[in-house]
Structure formats: structure tokens, C-alpha cells
Amino acid sequence: MTVSGNVKHARRKEILKELGLTPLWRARVPDTPNHASPAVTGEHVSISQAQVNAGAEDRRSTILRMDWDQLKMSVEGCIACPLCQSRSRTVFGIGDRNADWLYVGEGPGVQEDATGEPFVGPAGKLLDNMLAAINLKRGRNVYIANIVKCRPPGNRNPNSHEAQQCEPYLARQIALIQPKLIIALGKVAAQNLLNTDATLAALRGRLHEHSGIPVIVTYHPAYLLRTLADKAKAWEDLCFARSTMQSLQSGDLIPTYDR
């Protein structure tokens, strides 16, 4: 590391310490049948599943108390899952922190990894058009985030461990924004937000709920770029979302959620 790198690192450590965020989050070795009992075997110290769970709970509750600056800094320094090893940049999320609309995608792609901003590639252009179709604009009453903040290599779907490690960050963003409506873009976003294995086809066209907030599921824009035939169905979803928001804003809607 260079001298300026060392100074930056020391400063960062200082700030994190002041915020009560040290040590940086490090993934624990999950318990497996091979390491079932807590024991010191040579250089490997195994830990029990209960300890892993307690650590995850501590981490989650710390994250759930963070303000925006703390949260952003914590995401930037996160090493809780292996995606940190291949990322160029974390992709925190972007937009109006008081937005009524929260759009949630799956995870950064190559261009998002390079720029640190969600949905800036071809799928992002289509998302901007989808927003414009219902009179919305990125950053104006809209916030955009992802299930995971780091790019899965080769644009694969994030696995359940990665999604689970990142979940407290999105949970805190949702709690801070308090959107009126969440739009889940694609199967990965929908399944993680709704904690279900159901197909996208089964989830579309109904109102769901996450942490007391209505959720509407639609296609991921990258899927729509490949499957033009489903654009009409995406338009139906947008119209459903727009009328749901109108009801929510006017106080007319008393949601009866479908889980």
C-alpha cells in the first residue's frame, strides 16, 4: 500500500471506530457436518451454528440502527460474502431518499460494477423508459436499489448466502425511505423480497407485502430486452402499479395482501 493509501486506510478505520462500526464485517465459517463440534483442530477453529446465528443477528441489528452515511460506509467496506473479492465498486442504490416508489433489482452488472450506480447499462435505459411511461423519473420520488450490492461474477444470480448477507442493508434502506410501494424487478428480487419460491408468472398481477409495504412484481428489464413479447404484460404491471400508487396516495387503498 502507498503512503497515501495507508493514511486513507487509517482515516477510514478512525471514522468507522467513531461510528462504532469496527471491526469490519467478516463472513464467519458456517458450521458443516465436518466441523460440527466447537473444537480447535490444528489451525482451524470451528464455531457452532448458534454462534453463527448470534453473530448474524448482532450484525443485522447494528445495521438496522444506521443512518444513511453509516450505512453507505458499511456497504463500501463490506466483506460479509465472497462477492467482495471480485467487485470493482459496491452499488449502494440511488435516488430520492424520501421516495414513494422503490424499485428493487437483482444485483449490479458489469457497467454498474464499474460506475457504482444501479441500472446504468442497457437494462437501465429500459428501466428509465418504463419509469417515463408512468410519468416517473430516476431520482424524482423514485429510489432504485438491488438485492445485492456487489456484482455476482459473470452476471449469475446471487445465491442465497449472498442475498442473506446483503439483506440487512436493503432492509435498512427500506426502513429509512419508507416507500409507499415497492416494485420488484424480476424473479430474484421478487423471491427474496417475498421470501418465496413461486414463479414470476404466479406472482405478477397481485398485491403482495414486505415489512408492511405493498409490493408489485414485474419483469426484469434485462429479461424484457430479450423477450419483446412480454412487454405488453409489463405495461399491464406498470398500469397496475400506477393505479395502486394513486389509491395509496389518496388514502383509498386498504390493501388486502396476497402472500
Footprint on this chain of ligand URA (rule: CB under 6 A): 91, 105-109, 112, 118-119, 123, 146, 222
Residue 21 or residue 173: which is nearer to ligand URA going by CB? 173
Number of Cα atoms under 13 Å in the Cβ half of residue 61 = 5
Closest to ligand URA by CB, 118 or 214 = 118
- Min dist CB 225 to ligand URA, Å, is 11
- The x, y and z cell numbers of residue 25, run together, are 464485517
Nearer to ligand URA, 71 or 222 (CB): 222
Closer CB to ligand URA, residue 115 or residue 247?
115
Extended strands (E) in the chain: 40-41, 44-45, 94-95, 101-105, 142-146, 181-185, 208-210, 213-218
Least distance to ligand URA from the beta carbon of 168, Å? 19
* Nearest distance, CB of residue 195 and ligand URA, angstroms: 18
Cis before 23? omega within 30: yes
Q: What is the DSSP letter of 229?
A: G
Residue whose Cβ sits closest to ligand URA: 105
Question: Smallest distance from the beta carbon of 163 to ligand URA, in angstroms?
Answer: 12
* Spatial distance between the Cα atoms of 143 and 125, rounded to a whole number of angstroms: 15
Pick from 123, 258, 105: which is nearest to 187 by CA? 105
